[in-house]
Amino acid sequence: MHNEQQQAALAIRRVFAGQTLPAALAAVDDGAPTRGRALVQELAYGVLRHWGRLAALTGVLASKPLSDPALAALVAVAIYQVDHTHAPAFAVVDRAVDAATLIARPQAKPLINAMLRRYLREREALNESVAAASPVARWSYPRWWIGRVEADHPRHWQQILAAGNERPPLTVRVNLRWTTPDALLKRWNDADIRATRAGAIGIIVDSPQPVTSLPGYVEGLFSVQDLGAQLAAGLLDVHTDMRVLDACAAPGGKTTHLLESARIDLTALDEDAARLARLRENLKRLRLETASLRVLHGDAGEPQSWWDGRGFDRVLIDVPCTASGIVRRHPDAKWLRRKTDITAFAQQQRRILGALWGVLARGGKLLYSTCSVFAFENESRIAEFLSEHRDALRETIMLPSEVARDGGQLLPSLKGASHNQDGFFYALLRKV
């Protein structure tokens, strides 16, 4: 266990040095056993979800600031294990003391041992103390993030913050080209895989496991996609033979859903070549490659470099954003983002939306989408656009009745919700 604790602590240190969590975890020894790599990932993700509280506790337990950030991360890893896993508490402490030698030096062992054993003795009081002292420790988000969510969603801000700290479900979208939700669910149940129907064509796997191990993966019978993201294709209202543009398309979750929904003439565009390669892989696995599909490398904000001049009947824009609605899946985002990033993303969103309005045919519809809960990226962008474009009309969108929402804003769900989704925003515009 101490090797996994060490690797998780080092990955966390890399995140706070500026790396994304996937990049930080990529440095984990590829020769490690599969179970070991899975544990490192579980620990790193869990610690970052609860970093505000764990960092505050580490600060209280240390008599003075720890000289090595990796040692502070190691203490956070051990506290997370004690609080959120079934590992025996004293075994966690003993292994963390061993890991301290690997990270720093043998002299660090008494300090780490003393800190963690004090936590075991005073656990309840320490947690109450740090939660009362700071909203960052209480909610495990940066202070500016908490303030913005509270201002944007005064009725739901606590739900949004709490949901972002929960472990997300493994949710898949069934490929209706090749099977049905009931048929796939029966196949899984026959293989003793517990899963539950969710949404129109979704299934939630009750016991998370590697998606590639699920029956039907190789045959392309399903894709991993959150329930909130699964709503996009239906909202865009595509029909046979329509010309459709999926801008900012990679890695292809919404692209493939559009192709599964209707026989359309689809252009999938993205400026990230590496992510486009993943899109092509997904198209191949799902058996959706057709002559009426074009995958283009280009900037959505510069149509002159890739557009053939023929208007599109439908346009989907999943614009770059802070990803504030999906932090339960990407907990590093809340610690890597800065307050000024929102303004920078808004500039990109404004540029892309304005440019792609020009490629939409008269009478056509454009779906603006983000995975954000920040109003400045959502309602503010749409209100600004409508004030500047007299030929744009906002359509009313119909969302499932069980989805918690504010206008076009889908709020992230707390555990146990009937429609367990991440946070998304949708606005459907028609060119009149």
Query: For 306-322, what is each residue's pLDDT tens digit?
Result: 999 999 999 999 999 99
Domain boundaries, the chain: 2-140, 170-224, 229-431
- Protein fold of 229-431: Rossmann fold (3.40.50)
Going 363 to 240 to 283 to 203, the CA torsion angle's sign is positive
Percent of the chain scoring above 90 in pLDDT: 87
User: Would the pLDDT of 29 be above 70?
Assistant: no
Query: For 335-387, what is each residue's pLDDT tens digit?
Result: 999 999 999 999 999 999 999 999 999 999 999 999 999 999 999 999 999 99
- Average pLDDT (99-113) is 87
Query: For 197-237, what is each residue's pLDDT tens digit?
Result: 999 999 999 987 899 999 999 999 999 999 999 999 999 99
Instruction: Tell me the C-alpha distance between 268 and 398, whole Å.
Output: 25
Query: H/E element holding 90?
Result: helix 89-103
pLDDT attached to residue 37 = 85
The CATH superfamily of 2-140 is: NusB-like (1.10.940.10)
- What does pLDDT average to over the chain? 94
Active site residues: 371
CATH class given for the domain over 170-224: alpha beta
Instruction: Tell me the C-alpha distance between 322 and 423, whole Å.
Output: 12
Q: List b or e across 7-42, with b for residues whose CB sees 16 or more CB atoms inside 10 angstroms.
A: bbbbbbbbbbeebebeebbeebeeeeeeebbebbbb
Percent of the chain scoring above 70 in pLDDT: 97
Instruction: Tell me the C-alpha distance between 53 and 68, whole Å.
Output: 19
Query: For 226-281, what is each residue's pLDDT tens digit?
Result: 999 999 999 999 999 999 999 999 999 999 999 999 999 999 999 999 999 999 99
DSSP 21-76: HHHHHTTS-TTS-HHHHHHHHHHHHHHHHTHHHHHHHHHHHSSS--SSHHHHHHHH
| Dihedrals phi, psi of 138, to nearest 5 degrees | -70, -45
- Average pLDDT (24-49) is 82
- Average pLDDT (104-112) is 85
How far separated are the first and last CA of the chain, in Å rounded? 62
Burial of 98 (0-12, 13-18, 19+ CB in 10 A): middle
